[in-house]
Amino acid sequence: MRVRSVVRELLETAIFILLVFFIVRGIVQNFKIEGSSMEPTLHTGEYILVNKLVYFHFDLNAPLRLLPGQESLDQKIIYPFHQPRRGDILVFEYPRDVSKDYIKRVIGLPGDTLDIHDGKVFVNGSELSEPYLGGAATACLGSRVCGSGPFVIPDGTIFVMGDNRNNSSDSREWDSLPLDRVVGQAWVIYYPVSSWGLVPHHDY
């Protein structure tokens, strides 16, 4: 009886550990920074934790579409906490290859009017304050945001750019990012120890 009791306790403990692991994995995930696109804010080789819960969302109309005659009902997306905001640094699936994860900063939100000229970024007609660039200019990279007049960010998408504007593949190159590609908000740098701390987002 004692052996059975010990085996049962071990199984229960293993199941509990696995359950906790999957719950935590659904809320927080670790990523390694590769490349220099977010310098000087984040550096290659750093490890970060990403908060996947903060951008959690669901379609309020999804259950209604199961009813007869309601199949074409529009989505009604609800964010219990908040959707990505300007200045947030987030991890997302690269739109051209979802097997790759990228990290960039949110510059524009759905409905925003965006323009880039004279090396500066303008959102809704006002120049964006970007102290994290250290005075570096923002190049166009052939984007339709430049030269052809203000660009209105489509619904359901955001415009993201790296802090290292001269060395970043971002929305200037491959257009605005669908919100459903967002993995989560960069939260904590945990390695190396010398870099430990909260990821520095920016409040515009």
CATH number of the domain residue 116 falls in? 2.10.109.10
Inside any domain, residue 155: yes
In this structure, is residue 63 part of a structural domain? no
How much is the pTM? 0.83
Residue 33 is assigned to a structural domain of this protein = yes
Is residue 12 one of the residues assigned to a domain? yes
Of the residues 52, 104, 143, 176, only one is catalytic, namely 104
The answer to whether position 101 is within a domain reads yes
User: Which DSSP symbol is given to 68?
Assistant: T
Domain tally, the chain: 1
Burial of 9 (0-12, 13-18, 19+ CB in 10 A): exposed
Check if 37 is active-site: yes
Q: Are strands 126-127 and 120-123 parallel, antiparallel or unpaired?
A: antiparallel
Query: Residue 70: inside a domain, yes or no?
Result: no
Q: Which domain holds residue 92?
A: 2-57+83-198
Q: Which member of 37, 143, 171, 176 is catalytic?
A: 37
Nearest CA among 105, 76, 129, 125 for reference residue 182: 105
Q: Confidence band (pLDDT; 50, 70, 90) for 132?
A: very high
Enumerate the β-bridge partners of residue 204: none
Chain mean position to CA 173: 17
Active site residue 143: no
Residue 73: CB atoms within 10 A of its CB come to 14
Mean pLDDT calculated for residue range 19-28 = 57
